[in-house]
């Protein structure tokens, strides 16, 4: 098959322009995903850099080569910046600009050697592509399915730049010069022309998947205390107990004492802060277990402990809360918590909650601010 490289180059430019617009448009619709703006800028830099080579019509001046390659190296660095932004990690502008600085410093010494220029741009581009892949693999906040595709494509960019540096492959030569080209350039040209839409699609998919993951997680978090809500607690508790099989598992059921007497005289801001305090104490004391706010002033935790150890843990939580929640927002509230504890090896979550609720009722009847086990009589 005879390839029309100028036409292939035009397709490359058109695709790049379209996906540049799509990335910026997606960012305009969802400003919270700042990575989309970074990736859109990377595509724009590629578009402008390649545009300069098109205008040069296969015979670029040294000034054109200097600027065009600066833009292409900057595109790779901005791509890396987008990956860091996607992971909500700080972006160091000096590290992004280092590649362009190296290119400008080295250019006067290598301007007469096209092979050396190509090797340097390939090394700098491959370096940023590798850093981008590492960023998504090592520092992802939440592992997404589209992460794998993005990492593979970025590693493909590393390989592409390694090959073009070794084989002397030039995009400008292969896409816009009608004449002899190095062996293998046709396959590389087709690959890079189809690569841009693919990686843009993956970036858009990553942004969509991240937002969906955010909303899914938000649906499982209590907005006030920032700990799991009732739905998340029940799902986590069922999963944990199915894993434990016949190992003793305990349910701790907490209810803040006389909470209505806090809200009425002191206001809901004080009451809300009391709930936040208890949520924080619970998360500190049960880092490896399942816990959550069931609603109102009621909380629960499922822990892989026998009855005695679970009772001691409940007592630690009760004491910590009593010690900390004395002065809230300048008001003396002296709030306490009652705890019901139930343990079983083959019980369901529903069974343990029911038994713990019975124990909690007895704790209230005994004067509150105590821990009562379901087995106690």
Active-site residue set: 297
CA gap 36, 39 in Å, rounded = 5
In the three-class reduction of DSSP (H, G, I as helix; E, B as strand; rest coil), residue 64 is classed as helix
SS3 content of the chain, % helix, strand, coil (to 5): 65, 10, 25
Q: What is the DSSP string of 246-281?
A: TS-EEEEEEEETTTHHHHHHH-HHHHHHHHHHHHHH
Collapse the DSSP code of 166 into the 3-class scheme (helix H, G, I; strand E, B; otherwise coil) and give the result: helix
Q: Is the dihedral of CA 229, 232, 234, 236 positive or negative?
A: negative
Contact present, 85 and 35 (Cβ < 8 Å) = yes
Contact, 307 vs 247, CB < 8 A? no
Q: How far apart are CA 300 and CA 316, in angstroms?
A: 15
State how far the Cα of 343 lies from the Cα of 302, in Å rounded to an integer: 10
Contact criterion met (CB below 8 Å) for 253 and 298:
yes
The Cα–Cα gap between 281 and 301 comes to: 12
Q: What is d(CA 370, CA 336) in angstroms, rounded to the nearest whole number?
A: 9
Q: Which of 322, 323, 358 is nearest to 337 (CA)?
A: 322
- Contact of 99 with 77, CB cutoff 8 Å: yes
Helix (H) or strand (E) holding 301: strand 298-303
Q: Name the burial class of residue 295, with classes exposed (0-12), middle (13-18) and buried (19+) by CB atoms within 10 angstroms of its CB.
A: exposed
- Per this entry, what is the length of the chain? 377
């Amino acid at each position: 098959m005879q390839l029309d490289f100028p036409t292939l180059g035009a397709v490359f430019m058109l695709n790049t322009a379209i996906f540049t617009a799509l990335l910026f448009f997606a960012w305009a619709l969802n400003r919270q995903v700042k990575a989309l703006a970074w990736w859109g800028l990377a595509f724009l830099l590629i578009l402008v850099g390649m545009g300069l080579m098109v205008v040069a019509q296969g015979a670029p001046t040294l000034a054109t080569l200097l600027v065009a390659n600066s833009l292409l190296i900057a595109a790779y660095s901005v791509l890396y910046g987008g990956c860091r932004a996607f992971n909500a990690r700080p972006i160091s502008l000096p590290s992004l600009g280092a590649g362009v600085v190296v290119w400008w410093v080295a250019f006067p010494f290598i301007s007469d050697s096209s092979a050396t220029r190509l090797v340097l741009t390939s090394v700098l581009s491959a370096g940023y592509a590798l850093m981008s892949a590492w960023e998504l693999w090592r520092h992802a906040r939440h592992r997404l399915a589209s992460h794998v595709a993005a990492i593979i494509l970025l590693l493909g960019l590393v390989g592409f730049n390694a090959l073009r540096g070794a084989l002397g492959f030039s995009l400008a030569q292969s896409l816009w010069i009608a004449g002899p080209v190095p062996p293998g350039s046709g396959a590389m040209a087709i690959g890079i022309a189809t690569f841009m839409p693919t990686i843009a699609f993956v970036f858009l998919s990553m942004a969509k998947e991240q937002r969906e993951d955010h909303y899914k997680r938000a649906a499982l978090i209590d907005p006030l205390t920032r700990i799991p809500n009732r739905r998340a607690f029940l799902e986590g508790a069922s999963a944990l107990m199915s894993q434990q099989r016949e190992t003793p598992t305990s349910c701790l059921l907490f209810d803040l004492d006389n909470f209505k007497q806090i809200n009425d005289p002191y206001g809901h801001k004080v009451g809300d802060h009391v709930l936040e305090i208890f949520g924080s104490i619970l998360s500190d004391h049960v880092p490896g277990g399942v816990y959550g706010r069931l609603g109102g002033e009621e909380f629960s935790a499922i822990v892989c402990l026998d009855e005695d150890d679970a009772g001691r843990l409940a007592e630690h939580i009760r004491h910590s809360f009593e010690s900390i929640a004395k002065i809230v927002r300048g008001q003396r509230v002296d709030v306490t918590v009652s705890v019901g504890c139930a343990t079983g090896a083959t019980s369901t979550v529903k069974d343990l909650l029911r038994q713990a609720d019975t124990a909690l009722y007895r704790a209230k009847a005994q004067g509150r601010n105590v821990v009562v086990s379901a087995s106690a009589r």
